[in-house]
Amino acid sequence: MTVRTKDAIRYGGFVEPVSYRGNLCGPYDLGWRLVNAGLPEVWCPPDKASLYHFAHPDPTGVQGILPSFRQLREMTHPHVDLHAWIAVEHFSTGRMLPLDENPEIFERRLSGRRIGTEFEAKYARMTGQDGFSTIQRRRMQLSLVYGILASGSKNTVRQLAMLLARKLGRSERTKRLLRRLLAPIFLREDMRRTGVGIVYSYLEYNFVPFRDHIVAIPKHLGPYDLFAHGALEHPELLVGESVWEIRDRLDRGSVPDFAEPVLVYQEYKRGDFNIFVYRGKCYGRRRCDGPFELDDHNLAADTVQEMKAILSNMKNRGADARRSRQDG
């Protein structure tokens, strides 16, 4: 068999597994893998070349020579029609690289790679030829489980904190106190350390904790340096003691003129309505009515606060009607 050196190296070279020991093997494993990779296989014309297997008991396959017991003992592994079974398996499954690649060929093959970015280069030699070890895999699995459990516990604490704030915060003074006490629960650890980081996004604003306050920055301003001199004096910035305070101010204000419908509340108060903002208006739409469209299935209001009030009144009327039926 004749093959270009660069092609032989690119596809792992000749394999050297123990199952190839014996006198029933040839170079066809690499040849078949090259065929799997798309290289054409061209045989010499039979009238110009003769086939002779030097190591076979019957070199031409037609002489009827029977192998000796010593020669039979050389066939140490199973075969398929006198072909090494791993070679047939590679050919049949479409493999292009061997299972056990020679380390030197592996190094030569990888040295020919052209990696486009430094980001990718970080992973190019992370594991070596044998891949991640069993210990590394177990460590990554444990890290995944820990991350899921930790994230779930944080979300549970946040939900309990919000419920506590709603139940106990009857007066504005109590609300402000609870929001200040519970604010750290809603900030990730890295954000609490640095003091800057997006903790919430609402309408066209990003909410950022900064010096014991929450600052709402319009998204169209892009990256914004709050540490710059006079940064907080920008007329479009909103500053408050909590995310809730600023969000309530935005809900009471005029609705942004979004060119596409923007979902601001999904299943508002665990009800059937989603709240959308679109072209200066606020809409409430039942989930069963499908994706947002401008049709007769929508409730409309000028502000998010008005839409919240409409949906809350509908929910209260429904609860009163259910109680009346039960009393009757």
Q: What is the pLDDT of residues 109-139, one digit of tens each?
A: 998 888 888 888 888 888 888 889 999 999 8
- Is 160 inside any structural domain? no
Looking at 252, 273, 295, which one is the last position of a domain? Answer: 252
Give alpha helix (H) positions in the chain: 5-10, 28-36, 69-73, 85-93, 103-111, 118-124, 134-168, 172-182, 189-194, 243-252, 304-327
Q: Per-residue pLDDT tens for 210-266?
A: 877 889 998 888 888 888 888 888 888 999 888 888 888 888 887 777 788 888 888
Q: Distance (Å, rounded) from C-alpha 30 to C-alpha 3?
A: 9
Residues 13 and 109 in one domain: yes
Tally of CA atoms within 13 A in the half-sphere of 39 that contains its CB: 19
User: Does residue 154 form part of some domain?
Assistant: no
For residues 291 and 226, membership in a common domain is answered with no
Spatial separation of the C-alpha atoms in residues 210 and 217, rounded to whole Å: 11
Say what the pLDDT of residue 300 is: 92
**3-state DSSP assignment of residue 31:** helix
**What confidence score (pLDDT) does residue 157 get?**
65
Is 247 in the same domain as 267?
no
Residue ending a domain, among 252, 274, 304, is 252
Determine phi and psi for 85, rounding to 5 degrees: -65, -30
Whether 234 maps to a domain, the answer reads yes
State the pLDDT at residue 243. Answer: 84
Give residue 290's domain range: 262-327
pLDDT attached to residue 284: 93
Query: Kind of pairing, strands 281-286 and 298-301?
Result: antiparallel
Contact between 179 and 165 (Cβ < 8 Å): yes
pLDDT of residue 194: 45
C-beta of residue 168 within 8 angstroms of C-beta of residue 183 = no
Within a domain: 132: no
pLDDT of residue 200: 83
CB contact set of 251 (below 8 Å; sequence gap of 6+): 303, 304, 305, 308
Gyration radius (Cα) of the chain, Å: 36
Name residue 293's amino acid.
E
CA distance 273 to 283: 10
> How many domains are contained in the chain?
3
Q: Give the Cα separation of 83 and 27 in Å (integer).
A: 11
| Residue 133 counted as domain residue | no
Residue 192 lies in a domain: yes
Has residue 152 been placed in a domain? Answer: no
Tokens of 164: 């506590």
- Residues of the chain where predicted confidence (pLDDT) is lower than 70: 21-26, 52-67, 71-75, 151-196, 270, 319-328
Establish if 18 belongs to a structural domain.
yes
Instruction: Say if residues 274 and 212 touch (Cβ distance below 8 Å).
Output: no
Q: Buried b vs exposed e over 133-160: b needs ≥16 C-beta within 10 Å?
A: eeeeeeeeeeeeeeeeeeeeeeeeeeee
Residue 213 shares a structural domain with residue 302: no
pTM: 0.45
Tokens 């990696």 locate to 115
Which pLDDT does position 253 carry in this prediction?
84
For residue 92 the two structure tokens come to 């049949």
Do 34 and 116 lie in a common domain? yes
